[in-house]
Amino acid sequence: MRHPPPVPLLAALLLAACTGSRSDEKAVLTVPAKAAGSGGEETTMAAAAPPSAAIGPPQCAPDDCIRLGGFSPPFVEPTIDPAGAAPPESPPLNPLNQAPGDDRCLYDADGRPVKCKPAAGSVALLKDGRVLYFNALEGTERVEYSIFFEAGHAIQNDQSRVLTLGAQASWLTPTPADGGANPDGQAPDTLLPPGTLDNQAGRNNDGALFCADLAHTADGRILAIGGTDYYNEPGVDEPIPFGVSELEGLRNARLFDPASNRWTKTGDMHHGRWYPSALNLPDGDVLVASGVTKLVKPVYPDRLQQSGRNVVETETWNLCSGAWTDNGPLAQRSLPLYPRLHLLPNGQVLYNAAGQAFNPFGQGYDQALWNFTAVYDPPGRTWADLAYAGLPALSPDTDPVEAATLAQGAGFRGSTFSIQLPLTPDANGRYTQAEFLTAGGVLGHVVAASPGSNQATALSRIDTVSIQPDGGLAYRSRATGPLTAPRWYGTAVLLPTGEVMVFSGADRDEVQLPGTGVPLRRTERFDPATETWQPMAQQGRPRTYHNTAMLLPDGRVLVGGHAPINTAYAWSVTLPGFSPNDGRDPSFEIYSPPYAFGPRPQIRSAPKQLRPGDTFTIATAQAAEIESVVLVRRSDLTHLVDADQRSVRLLFARRPEALLVHMPQEAAVVPPGEYLLFLVAPGPYGAAPSESVPVSIPADRSC
């Protein structure tokens, strides 16, 4: 049943006008804030002060706080900027369409949502401690009957926000709010000549940030690579269906500068990419791989060899010039969407045999290759296969149970996280090994030509890549204890302690049949000592598709997101007991791990800038108790992917009230960028990290 509109659009615009908005100010409408989960967030009127909301303390009993941790009440941006909330093209009203009944959206006179608050489908921790985030699938609330056919005109460019966290949360809208790429519609890769029924002109959905990947640049800006151009494509020649919505990957790349809160364009890639993965190389250049140019109909008449698979070309962004270079034929590789990539300590890039796999026709006819882990060598611009993921541990002396578990969970895995466990130096201070934790998601099952099972798995494994004395790589896998429940699309966060928390997700694939997954609110923690998972606190909100979680500088975790596809690719409706699919969830909550409730070490002082090979001093009164010094790279996460995610344990020696710390010699261990420096000491509730201090590692080059 359709809810009555809280504030009709016309009234919203009038109200905004009455507040005396100038053209250079945001026309901000205040709507009643209610029931964002906490029963009454603080609300502010539009004024010079940014909109803000209170952040409540963790909601947990003392015994639970120190065992399981606790979540703050959800808090949400209190206002909606009505700019751009033009009435959509209006198909007949669907009486079964559920629209959010609270303050999440503005509505027109017919009760249609015309603009909603953005959810944190993608997040990045800025170097000044604020949080950049942007929406996913902006406008799905406007779909009346089927997103499959209406996405091309119902969906809009995603809004971005900057969130400041303190006792209160406050919001700022960057300029331009949608990132500003492709405002007039790039030349799309349509199958028809321009001008024949395309809907490119004048549409505010040609440059969506949705499905871009994020990377911190070496100088602390945020690079958003790719994105989405939505349109309906009335194909003509068979076998192209008519009128089906298309999501085309953008060639654009954009930079967000925290100093100015502005988005600007940088160089365009050679290939449009939707769901690419990007990561920093040791010199500060950024590698991008995979993505698809056309999601729904990946047919390219001018380059048929590319049809039916993802973009195989890799490209490298130059930190100094902003230009992209195609890395050549041998740098090509068929990869899943959002391939799980990591930079190894030797400067090579690991593909960890996981990703997203659902674009029609382009699950990839060559998707069997996705089962193989592989490494890319940036200087040599070549790939080398490494192993069938998850299988190499099998040997005659392998425990049969583990062997069976490994075999079951081996190969390509979809919608899982891939966490690089802390890089740890050997006795000589060299970093010669990297380990990766993969848990949950869906198993490949590519045998049936399907991208994967619909049902989530609980299987968990660690893959180890070791750098051999001769420079070669060795690969092995071991099974860990399983998740306590099968989990699709859980977002993992590596804590400074080396433990891994997983948040959100559902019990089955919410892309294959949206709205039919049961949300998982119970979080879990991976103990690296026992290699088992244990249940932890229950988060406040169910968050299934496009959820996010991110380590904050104080060691807590920001949890947000949830922007589902319309139920069964039809309209917005919540099936009882299943994922909340009546719209997106713009709220956040903050998870405080058990260590947040006990004593923690403190950093009195530390350098603000470090380079590979440096030796430096950290002043701390708890020097005698410190068990690890950890550099954690600031997160930038979308769709479970943060290819730059890393935590590096540093060699150190204790001094009176100080630590003498050695940076890694290898730039590939600490690629340039922005980091958080933590100290970790034993505590009454497990290992306890300090709050961090910011550290910059500049690129070893001058632009």
Binding to other proteins, residues 259-298 (CB under 8 A)? 295-296
The answer to whether 213 and 277 are in contact (CB under 8 A) is yes
Q: Nearer to other proteins by C-beta: 82 or 336? A: 336
Q: How many Å apart are CA 605 and CA 690, to the nearest integer? A: 12
Please report whether residue 192 would count as binding other proteins according to CB under 8 A.
yes
The residue to which tokens 């910059």 are assigned: 696
Give the interface segment with other proteins, choosing from 37-45, 379-387, 517-525, 643-651 (CB under 8 A).
379-387
Please report whether residue 684 would count as binding other proteins according to CB under 8 A.
no
42, 257, 377, 531: which one contacts other proteins (CB under 8 A)?
A: 377
What does the CA dihedral 141, 144, 145, 150 come to, rounded to 10 degrees?
A: -80
CB of 101 to other proteins, least distance (A): 25
Please report whether residue 242 would count as binding other proteins according to CB under 8 A.
yes
57, 183, 328, 598: which one contacts other proteins (CB under 8 A)?
A: 328
The answer to whether 60 and 537 are in contact (CB under 8 A) is yes
Please report whether residue 157 would count as binding other proteins according to CB under 8 A.
no
Please report whether residue 399 would count as binding other proteins according to CB under 8 A.
no
> Sign of the C-alpha dihedral, residues 330, 336, 339, 344?
negative
Burial (Cβ within 10 Å: 0-12, 13-18, ≥19) of residue 380:
exposed
Query: Using CB under 8 A, which residues numbered 446 to 465 contact other proteins?
Result: 446-451
CB of 393 to other proteins, least distance (A): 13
Measured at the alpha carbon of residue 503, what is the angle toward residues 174 and 76, in degrees to the nearest 5? 40
Query: Using CB under 8 A, which residues numbered 36 to 75 contact other proteins?
Result: none
From residue 498 to residue 527, what is the string marking binding to other proteins with x (rule CB under 8 A)? Answer: -------------xxx--------------
CB of 436 to other proteins, least distance (A): 19
Q: Nearer to other proteins by C-beta: 160 or 367? A: 367
Give the interface segment with other proteins, choosing from 27-35, 147-155, 222-230, 648-656 (CB under 8 A).
147-155
CB of 464 to other proteins, least distance (A): 18
Q: Which of 334, 472, 352, 479 shows the shortest CA–CA distance to 414?
A: 352
- Output the six-digit token pair for 228: 């989405």
Q: Nearer to other proteins by C-beta: 4 or 195? A: 195
Q: Nearer to other proteins by C-beta: 168 or 382? A: 382
234, 612, 686, 694: which one contacts other proteins (CB under 8 A)?
A: 234
> Sign of the C-alpha dihedral, residues 287, 460, 491, 454?
positive
CB of 566 to other proteins, least distance (A): 10
Q: Nearer to other proteins by C-beta: 350 or 699? A: 350
Please report whether residue 239 would count as binding other proteins according to CB under 8 A.
yes
Q: Nearer to other proteins by C-beta: 331 or 676? A: 331
- Output the six-digit token pair for 634: 């600031």
Please report whether residue 376 would count as binding other proteins according to CB under 8 A.
no
Residue partners of 239: CB distance under 8 A and separation at least 6: none
CB of 207 to other proteins, least distance (A): 22
Please report whether residue 568 would count as binding other proteins according to CB under 8 A.
yes
Burial (Cβ within 10 Å: 0-12, 13-18, ≥19) of residue 47:
exposed
Please report whether residue 383 would count as binding other proteins according to CB under 8 A.
yes
Inter-CA distances, 251 with 265, 292, 324, Å: 11, 11, 10
Give the interface segment with other proteins, choosing from 54-62, 146-154, 213-221, 588-596 (CB under 8 A).
146-154
Please report whether residue 149 would count as binding other proteins according to CB under 8 A.
yes
Residue partners of 302: CB distance under 8 A and separation at least 6: none
Backbone angles phi, psi at 448, to 5 degrees: -95, 20
CB of 304 to other proteins, least distance (A): 9
668: left (phi over 0), alpha (psi -120 to 50) or beta: alpha
Q: Which of 88, 112, 90, 96 shows the shortest CA–CA distance to 4?
A: 112
Q: Nearer to other proteins by C-beta: 59 or 454? A: 454
206: left (phi over 0), alpha (psi -120 to 50) or beta: alpha
Q: How many Å apart are CA 318 and CA 452, to the nearest integer? A: 36
Query: Using CB under 8 A, which residues numbered 334 to 373 contact other proteins?
Result: 334, 358-361, 363, 365-369, 371-372
Q: Nearer to other proteins by C-beta: 104 or 461? A: 461
Kindly give the pairing relationship between strand 673-683 and strand 693-697. Answer: antiparallel
Residue partners of 270: CB distance under 8 A and separation at least 6: 251, 313, 315, 324, 326
77, 103, 108, 144: which one contacts other proteins (CB under 8 A)?
A: 144
301, 303, 469, 577: which one contacts other proteins (CB under 8 A)?
A: 303
Q: How many Å apart are CA 378 and CA 269, to the nearest integer? A: 18
Residue partners of 304: CB distance under 8 A and separation at least 6: none
Q: How many Å apart are CA 289 and CA 276, to the nearest integer? A: 6
16, 312, 610, 697: which one contacts other proteins (CB under 8 A)?
A: 312
Q: Nearer to other proteins by C-beta: 173 or 453? A: 453
Please report whether residue 110 would count as binding other proteins according to CB under 8 A.
no
The answer to whether 677 and 670 are in contact (CB under 8 A) is no
Give the interface segment with other proteins, choosing from 33-41, 56-64, 187-195, 274-282 (CB under 8 A).
187-195
From residue 571 to residue 610, what is the string marking binding to other proteins with x (rule CB under 8 A)? Answer: ----------------------------------------
CB of 154 to other proteins, least distance (A): 11
Give the interface segment with other proteins, choosing from 118-126, 138-146, 671-679, 691-699 (CB under 8 A).
138-146
CB of 150 to other proteins, least distance (A): 8
54, 83, 172, 244: which one contacts other proteins (CB under 8 A)?
A: 244
Number of residues located near other proteins, criterion CB under 8 A: 73
The answer to whether 351 and 652 are in contact (CB under 8 A) is no
- E strand or H helix that includes residue 17: helix 9-18
> Sign of the C-alpha dihedral, residues 396, 399, 403, 406?
negative
386, 442, 479, 558: which one contacts other proteins (CB under 8 A)?
A: 386
Q: Which of 560, 494, 440, 589 shows the shortest CA–CA distance to 121?
A: 560
Give the interface segment with other proteins, choosing from 53-61, 80-88, 239-247, 693-701 (CB under 8 A).
239-247
CB of 360 to other proteins, least distance (A): 4
Please report whether residue 300 would count as binding other proteins according to CB under 8 A.
no
Q: If you write DSSP's letter for every residue of 487-545 in order, what string do you get?
A: -BSPEEEE-TTS-EEEE--BSB-TTTSTT-SPB--EEEEEETTTTEEEEEEEPSS---T
Give the interface segment with other proteins, choosing from 101-109, 306-314, 419-427, 652-660 (CB under 8 A).
306-314
